[in-house]
Amino acid sequence: MSKRQLAMVMDLNKCIGCQTCTVACKTQWTNRNGREYMYWNNVETYPGTGYPKNWMELGGGFDAAGDLQPGVIPNLEADYGVPWDYNYESLVTSSADHSHFQPHVSPTWGPNWDEDQGAGAFPQDNYFFYLPRICNHCTNPGCLSACPRDAIFKREEDGVVLVDLDRCQGYRYCIAGCPYKKIYFNPKISKSEKCILCFPRIEQGLPPACAQQCVGRIRFVGFLDDEESQVYKLVNKYKVAIGLRSDYGTQPNVYYVPPTESPAKFDAEGKIIEGSTRLPIEELEKLFGPAVHDSIKTLKAEMKKRKETGVSELMDILIAYQHADMFRLDNHYYQEVAKEHKRTPLAPVDTRYIAGKFTKAGGHH
């Protein structure tokens, strides 16, 4: 168990499925061959097949007794989708008459293949919502448990789960062990790679790329032991943010505020069915467990309170007026950790979000 845990909360009511986060992550981290197919951050349409295809049925995680479950390693072509590219170069260089825009393979599958499809019948009761997913930097990571080479570790200082590429020999048991399929095999270098929660950015005072770029401002970042942080308040104080598929036993540290609002259904005449809601609660229960009921109850109550009294700390947090309200980073803390390990402490490149628990005590430089 790590000393502190860095965590993220994503408010699903606000995700608009724009994939800005996906692109922010992809352009930041696809800096090595073999990573092309990997989406460390992806936004899928729920209900849907997800990415990789049917990830929830591929096993991994732990059973009730705490035993790691066998899993299946997804296939690049069939389950992730070959990342196709276009013939940009020939469009520029060859003569115009027989050159046209075309992908280099005929795509048969890819992330977001079923984007916006959802479930139900249009227009009576169709529904979907967006589910952004990154590695959960689990407290009890399935990936780490599965690795026979001790190549995966959880950082003491902030609980970020990383792969030691020197030790990794590309066995891929981690992929079978992660129930979220959020660790990927790089076939070019025969090693596993994954979301690193942008720790090099965090250490220098910048939130993860996905969180900073998010136009919906759905993502909050902070330390779980920092009572002033938004993640602490959303997860521990108001208990509205819950882990995805906590039944896998990995104790995920990315938390979600469940979607609360959905339009009413229509009847055969196209009239609104009063009091109905399109989003089946069973679906939310499947993703977030029974805690989703209390979460929704609290959210609705606070929403009402805000409407009636104009005051609600929870609503103010969720509105996320400015970035500084959403990220509580702790550069000072990382500087202390660096000193402790006799490393050179990094100066922050951005001081706007540095307001963490330990920063207060020490002051940042």
Partner 1 sequence: MNKLLTSILSLGFAASAALAANPAISAVKVTDDLTNVDGNSAVWAKAKYTTVNLYPQMAIEMNDKNANEANENNKAKAASVAALYDGKNIALSVKWLDKTKDVQAGYATTTYGDGFAIQFAGITKGAQPLPYIGMGSTGRPVVVHLQKANEKVYEPNGNGDVSTQLNRQQTGVFGKELAEYDAKVASLANKDYERVFVGEGFRSLTEIKDKSVKSNSSMSHDTKGWSGTLVRPLKDDYVNMSGTVPVAIAVWDGSKMGRNGVKNLSSWVAVNLEGQKPNAALVADLTTDAKGDAANGKVALETNGCNGCHQMSAADPKSFMAPSLKDVGGYSTASYLRESILKPSAVVVPGYNRNAHANTPWYNIEKGKRISTMTDFSHLDKKSVDDIVAYLQTLKAEVE
Please report, as ranges, the residues that interact with ligand SF4 according to CB under 6 A: 15-21, 43, 130, 132, 135-138, 141-143, 161, 178, 180, 182-183, 194, 214-216, 218, 250
Residues that contact partner 1, how many (by CB under 8 A): 50
For position 13 contacting partner 1 by CB under 8 A, the verdict is no
Name the nearest CA neighbour of 240 among 301, 320, 160: 301
Pairing of strands 254-257, 6-11: parallel
Residue 15 interacts, among ligand SF4, partner 1, none and using kind-specific CB cut-offs from 5 to 8 Å, with ligand SF4
Of 9, 131, 146, 242, which one interacts with partner 1 (CB under 8 A)? 146
Question: Among 78, 19, 22, which residue's Cα sits nearest to residue 53?
Answer: 78
In the set 48, 71, 205, 222, which binds partner 1 (CB under 8 A)? 71
Q: Nearest approach, Cβ of 182 to partner 1 (angstroms)?
A: 14
Among 48, 50, 59, 222, binds partner 1 (CB under 8 A): 59
Burial string for 292-309 (b: 16+ CB within 10 Å, else e) reads beebbeebeebbeebeee
User: Does residue number 104 form part of the binding site for partner 1 (CB under 8 A)?
Assistant: no
Task: Report in angstroms how near the CB of residue 242 gets to partner 1 at its nearest.
Answer: 22
Give, for 252, the enclosing helix (H) or strand (E).
none
Q: Is residue 119 at the binding interface for partner 1, with CB under 8 A as the rule?
A: no
Residue 141 CB, shortest distance to ligand SF4, in Å, is: 4
Among 1, 64, 66, 106, binds partner 1 (CB under 8 A): 66
Contact between 236 and partner 1 per CB under 8 A: no
Nearest to residue 154, comparing CAs of 39, 10, 3, 40? 3
Strands 242-243, 254-257: parallel, antiparallel or unpaired by DSSP? Answer: antiparallel
Q: List binders of partner 1 among 153-172 (CB under 8 A).
A: 165-167, 169-172
Amino acid sitting at position 24: A
Query: Which residues have C-beta within 8 Å of that of residue 298, sequence separation ≥ 6?
Result: 238, 239, 240, 314
Q: What DSSP letter does each residue of 171-218 carry, written as one string?
A: --HHHHH-TT--EEEETTTTEEEE--TTHHHHTTT---HHHHH-TT--
CB of 69 to partner 1, least distance (A): 7
Q: Using CB distances below 5 to 8 A depending on partner kind, what does residue 327 bind out of ligand SF4, partner 1, none?
A: none
Q: Which is nearer to ligand SF4, 250 or 359 (CB)?
A: 250
Relative to beta strand 183-186, strand 191-194 is antiparallel
Q: How far is residue 73's CA from residue 272's CA, in Å, rounded to a whole number?
A: 45
User: Which of residues 18, 73, 119, 346 is near partner 1 by CB under 8 A?
Assistant: 73
User: What residue 196 binds from partner 1, ligand SF4, none (CB within 5 to 8 A, per partner kind)?
Assistant: none
CB of 277 to partner 1, least distance (A): 38
User: Ramachandran region of residue 17, left (φ > 0), alpha (ψ -120 to 50) or beta?
Assistant: left
| Interface residue list for partner 1 (CB under 8 A) | 30-36, 59-60, 62, 65-77, 80, 82, 140, 144-146, 148-150, 165-167, 169-173, 175-177, 184-185, 187-191
